[in-house]
Structure 1
Amino acid sequence: MQKHDGILLESGTNELEIVEFQMGQNRYGINVIKVKEIILPIPITTIPHAHPSIEGIIQLRGAVLPVVNMERVMGLPETLGKNEGKFIVAAFNKQEVVFHVHDVAQIHRVSWNQIEKPADLYTGDASQVIGVIKRENDMLFLLDFEKIVVDINPDSGIQLDEVKKLGKRERSNKKILVAEDSPMLRKLLSDTLTEAGYGNIEFFENGKDALEFLETVLADGKKVTEEIQLVITDIEMPQMDGHHFTKRIRANNELAELPVIIFSSLITDELKHKGISVGANDQVSKPEIAELVLKIDQYIL
């Protein structure tokens, strides 16, 4: 199953396409934008002293890529032989990773408003599940692949030291609205932006809640740009994604002048046109937090 450009959706529709794969009795999903290709397993070279979730490395078209064993990540019994299952070759956060899964089924097109946030009761802080899609006979779980990779290699995540190198600034009177569904990322953004001097932050778990807040500000008769000076949004979020959120801001004359920066693992040279088409002022790839702060500086004077 090869990924091809024709499968990508028009920007701002609040839809996504998901590659469904199987692990044990459950079915999971990964955003098709992250998937470069799906291949049968090829020989793996074992690496001494590697993280327990890393099976080893493969060489694919001249690139050396790590292979993540999803049974180990998810705490499942190890039944998968090295020559069994499927390899999902993925690219995000400016890196390429291979995920070894039991099987790959099909591609689904769904709306973000069909994706529910998982209940804290059955997920907890450590869960890799970021969304649930209910179907007639079962459920499909969206996994947080960024968190999986950061748990394996913490250096691939947001680094507070990068912000400290920028020096102190005092911007606490400037308010930033952030739409980000990951609790881990909200905490990291809170810490890093506060370190950078931007401590006045209003967080929301998705674009829908963030947009409703902005509309409430308008309903109260306030000028939005006096209450909020900048919006930062992720792309992948249940209920309303960042592209659709940005598009809705631009479509509202009273919100349109708000600066919007998209901060996402999906920012690549090939996909930046999507953010441009919905009216984003800037786009920064996770985990480039220092670059994000410098972009904020440009829009908040």
Structure 2
Amino acid sequence: MKDLGILLESGTNEMELLTVVVNAQPFGMNVAKVQSIQQYDPGAITALPEAEKGVLGMLLYRDTTIPVLDLARILDIDLDRGEVEPLREIIVVTEFNNSVTGFRVQGVKRIHRLSWKEFVPLDQLFEDNACFTGSVNIENSQVLVLDLEYILSSFFPDQVIEEVDEEMIQKGNTISRDQLEIVFAEDSPTIQKGVFSALKKAGFEKITPFLDGEKALNYIRSHYKTGKKQELNHVVLITDIEMPRMDGLTLCRVIKQDPELHPIFVVIFSSLINSQMIAKCEQVKSDDYVTKPETNRLITILDQRCG
């Protein structure tokens, strides 16, 4: 078994991508979501009766039972069992959204350090294929990057988007939530739509969404660069960490280092929040951080700004 750690410094706009093999095709996983890799042992998997397509079963991992998903089935890739050796198959154990999940693949290659500027979002024509967030060019070939949050949401929706409590909605009657101007940077269309809908339902009216950090920064600079400090107290940036062109940590660092924009309240809203990532959030001077799918906690933080 091999553990993988978060090696990058904060706000460098770099990512580390683990290339995994499904049948013979390479795909990318963000190393920040990968906890460990281990050899696949069919005997260690407990099958689930009438399980959904793609659910391989349950695995006892570090004294905890975790679900194991089969990427080949999820991606509709037919495995040529004459070419695949079970002893060479791998379980990639991931941790994000406060949950641990295993993914069976047919092998792993290596880790590549890349800039988020090299990350190419998929064209809108391919938006329906939400299993991927985009692609990167590695060794003269395009590697599709897996949207693990979307894949997990297909099986366990509550682990990705939390329903807004009715009590939280009613609380909006006593709080002027519509006074906040929210800039929301999130590259996953599925997550963006879910959170956008939840915030609107709670009574936040002024929300401007973006699918990457660079576009969010350009918008902030064009709208708030010459704003008065008092006006910026009503501006909140909610940003994911993993995003093309510019990641959320870099976006936060740039804003907090800007003498005009630094009063903007920045909330890191990510599936990667753990002790290591909290340290990174603090290094780039974020004002707060929330792990997905804690939408109600996010709203509580926003309510505090409404004062």
Same fold (TM over 0.5): yes
How far, CA to CA, are the matches of 2:230 and 2:23 in structure 1? 50
For residue 45 of structure 1, what is the amino acid of its counterpart? Answer: T
Query: Any residues of structure 2 matched to 1:175-214 within 5 Å, and which?
Result: 175-214=181-220
Query: Is contact 1:20–1:105 with CA below 8 Å preserved after alignment?
Result: yes
The RMSD of aligned alpha carbons is 1.8
- The yes-or-no answer on 1:15 pairing with 2:49 is no
- The yes-or-no answer on 1:158 pairing with 2:161 is yes
Closer/same/farther in 2, CA of residues 155 and 289 from structure 1, 3 Å limit? same
Query: Is contact 1:172–1:197 with CA below 8 Å preserved after alignment?
Result: yes
Per-residue CA deviations over 1:114-173 (Å, capped at 9, x if unaligned) read 10111122x22242110210234311111110110110122322133x332313314223
How far, CA to CA, are the matches of 1:224 and 1:29 in structure 2? 42
For residue 118 of structure 2, what is the amino acid of its counterpart? Answer: Q
- The yes-or-no answer on 1:131 pairing with 2:134 is yes
Query: Any residues of structure 2 matched to 1:169-248 within 5 Å, and which?
Result: 169=172, 170-218=176-224, 221-223=226-228, 226=231, 229-248=235-254
Query: Any residues of structure 2 matched to 1:89-108 within 5 Å, and which?
Result: 89-108=93-112
TM-score (norm 2): 0.91
How far, CA to CA, are the matches of 2:306 and 2:145 in structure 1? 35
How far, CA to CA, are the matches of 1:35 and 1:136 in structure 2? 22
How far, CA to CA, are the matches of 2:65 and 2:85 in structure 1? 21
Which structure 1 residue ranges, 5 or more long, are not aligned? Answer: none
Which structure 2 residue ranges, 5 or more long, are not aligned? Answer: none
Per-residue CA deviations over 1:177-229 (Å, capped at 9, x if unaligned) read 1011111111111110011111210111111101111111246x444763761
Q: Secondary structure, in 3 states, of the residue corresponding to 1:209?
A: helix
Between Structure 1 and Structure 2, how many residues are aligned?
Answer: 297
- The yes-or-no answer on 1:72 pairing with 2:69 is no
TM-score (norm 1): 0.93
How far, CA to CA, are the matches of 2:224 and 2:299 in structure 1? 27
Query: Is contact 1:23–1:71 with CA below 8 Å preserved after alignment?
Result: yes
How far, CA to CA, are the matches of 2:69 and 2:273 in structure 1? 22
How far, CA to CA, are the matches of 1:55 and 1:164 in structure 2? 36
Closer/same/farther in 2, CA of residues 92 and 77 from structure 1, 3 Å limit? same
Give the counterpart of 2:169 among 167, 170, 182.
167
How far, CA to CA, are the matches of 1:61 and 1:232 in structure 2? 34
Query: Any residues of structure 2 matched to 1:276-287 within 5 Å, and which?
Result: 276-287=282-293
4+ runs of 1 displaced by more than 6 Å? Answer: none
- The yes-or-no answer on 1:117 pairing with 2:116 is no
How far, CA to CA, are the matches of 2:190 and 2:70 in structure 1? 22
